Amino acid sequence: MTTIDEFVSLVQDELGLDVTPEDVGRSLDELAGWDSLHLLTLATLLERTTGRSLVLTDLLEARSLERIYAVAVGA
């Protein structure tokens, strides 16, 4: 996973959320169906996909999918 489009596909396919690239900048509270369990599942998926350990506090502070993606890719 190297692009935001691949990240969006991961969220769609693995979490079953209907998000688009236009949704990544929205607050997580605005995403239909989003809950804290999705964050934990996504953290595990991202670590497996990227091969990187992620800092949980950075993910907990993220307020959008865009920020979660940035944490995952080290941006």
**Domain harbouring 48, CATH code:** 1.10.1200.10
- Whether residue 73 contacts residue 54, with contact meaning beta carbons closer than 8 Å, is answered with no
Quote the crossing angle between the two packed helices 65-73 and 4-15, to the nearest 10°.
110
**Counted domains in the chain:** 1
pLDDT digits (tens, 9 = 90+) for 36-70: 999 999 999 999 999 999 999 999 999 999 999 99
- Whether residue 35 contacts residue 51, with contact meaning beta carbons closer than 8 Å, is answered with no
pLDDT surpassing 90 at residue 74: no
**What range does the domain containing 32 cover?**
4-73
Taking residues 1-11, report their average pLDDT. Answer: 92
pTM attached to this predicted model: 0.92
Q: What is the pLDDT, as a whole number, of residue 2?
A: 84
Of 48 and 75, the structure prediction assigns the larger pLDDT to: 48
